[in-house]
Structure 1
Amino acid sequence: MVTMAVEERTILIREFDALRDCAGAEAVETMCEVGASGSGKLFLFTDLMGDPICRVRHSPAYLMLVAETGGATKEIVGLIRGCLKTVTCGKKTPRNGKPPVPLYTKLAYILGLRVSPSHRRMGIGLKLVTRMEEWFREKGAEYSYMATEKDNEASIRLFTGRCGYSKFRTPSILVQPVFAHRLRLPHRVAILQLALADAESLYRRRFSTMEFFPRDIDAVLGNSLSLGTFLAVANGGGPGEQEVTSANWAGTESFLADPPASWAVLSLWNCKDVFRLEVRGASRVKRWLASTSRVFDRAFPWLGIPSVPDLFRPFGFYFLYGVGGHGPDAARLVTALCAHAHNLAKEGGCGVVATEVASCEPLRVGIPHWRRLSCAEDLWCMKRLGEDYSDGSVGDWSKSLPGPSIFVDPREI
Structure 2
Amino acid sequence: MGEEVEVVVREFEPNKDREGVEAVERICEVGPSGKISLFTDLRGDPICRVRHSPTFLMLVAEIGNEIVGMTRGCIKTVTCGKKLHRHGKNNNADSTAKQVPVYTKLAYILGLRVSPLYRRMGIGLKLVRAMEKWFRDNGAEYSYMATENNNVASVNLFTDKCGYSKFRTPSILVNPVFEHRVKTSSKIKIIKLDQNDAESLYRLRFSTTELFPRDIDSVLNNKLSLGTFLAVPRGSYGPDTWPGPAHFLASPPHSWAVLSIWNCKEVFSLEVRGVSRVKRALAKMTRVVDRAFPWLGLPSIPNFFRPFGFHFLYGVGGEGPEAVKMVRALCGFAHNLAKEKGCGAVATEVSRLEPLRLGVPHWKMLSCEEDLWCIKRLGEDYSDGSVGDWTKSPPEFSIFVDPREV
TM range (shorter): over 0.9
Q: 2:31 aligns with which of 35, 55, 60?
A: 35
Alpha carbons of 1:296 and 1:202: their partners in 2 closer, same or farther (altered >3 Å)?
A: same
Cα distance between partner residues in 2 of 1:355 and 1:307: 20
Amino acid at match of 2:366: L
| Unmatched tracts of structure 2, length 5 or more | 87-94
Cα distance between partner residues in 2 of 1:391 and 1:305: 51
**Aligned-residue CA RMSD in angstroms?**
1.1
Amino acid at match of 2:197: D
Residue pair 2:104, 2:384 contacting (<8 A) in 1 also: no
Q: Residues 233-270 of structure 1: CA distance to partner in whole angstroms, max 9, x if unpaired?
A: 0113xxxxxx3244321321221221101100000000
Amino acid at match of 2:361: P
Shift of 1:108: 0.1
Alignment of 1:301-316 (within 5 A): 301-316=294-309
- Residue 313 of structure 1 aligns to a residue whose secondary structure is coil
Q: Is the aligned partner of 1:58 residue 2:59?
A: no
Shift of 1:126: 0.4
Cα distance between partner residues in 1 of 2:9 and 2:311: 34
Cα distance between partner residues in 1 of 2:245 and 2:109: 35
The alignment's TM-score, normalised by the length of structure 2, stands at 0.95
Residue pair 2:204, 2:246 contacting (<8 A) in 1 also: no
Cα distance between partner residues in 1 of 2:179 and 2:57: 40
Q: 1:341 aligns with which of 334, 343, 346?
A: 334
Cα distance between partner residues in 1 of 2:280 and 2:373: 33
Amino acid at match of 1:193: K
Q: 1:260 aligns with which of 232, 253, 257?
A: 253
Shift of 1:33: 1.6
Q: Partner residue of 2:196?
A: 197
Cα distance between partner residues in 1 of 2:13 and 2:384: 38
Residue pair 1:45, 1:276 contacting (<8 A) in 2 also: yes
Which moves more between the two structures, 94-103 or 338-347? Answer: 94-103
Q: 1:383 aligns with which of 376, 391, 397?
A: 376
| Unmatched tracts of structure 1, length 5 or more | 1-7, 237-242
Residue pair 2:103, 2:385 contacting (<8 A) in 1 also: no
Residue pair 1:192, 1:246 contacting (<8 A) in 2 also: no
Cα distance between partner residues in 2 of 1:412 and 1:26: 19
Q: Partner residue of 2:85?
A: 94
Residue pair 1:37, 1:43 contacting (<8 A) in 2 also: no
- Aligned residue pairs total 395
Shift of 1:187: 2.0
Q: Partner residue of 1:10?
A: 6
Q: Residues 280-318 of structure 1: CA distance to partner in whole angstroms, max 9, x if unpaired?
A: 222222211110010011111111111111011110000
Shift of 1:354: 0.2
Q: Residues 142-172 of structure 1: CA distance to partner in whole angstroms, max 9, x if unpaired?
A: 0000000011111001000100000000000
Q: 1:362 aligns with which of 339, 355, 361?
A: 355
Amino acid at match of 2:370: E
Residue pair 1:190, 1:245 contacting (<8 A) in 2 also: no
Shift of 1:60: 0.0
- Residue 282 of structure 1 aligns to a residue whose secondary structure is coil
- Residue 323 of structure 1 aligns to a residue whose secondary structure is strand
Q: Partner residue of 1:330?
A: 323
Q: Is the aligned partner of 1:283 residue 2:276?
A: yes
Cα distance between partner residues in 2 of 1:342 and 1:246: 24
Cα distance between partner residues in 2 of 1:66 and 1:316: 26
Cα distance between partner residues in 1 of 2:239 and 2:76: 34
Cα distance between partner residues in 2 of 1:206 and 1:217: 13
Shift of 1:383: 0.2
Cα distance between partner residues in 1 of 2:98 and 2:17: 50
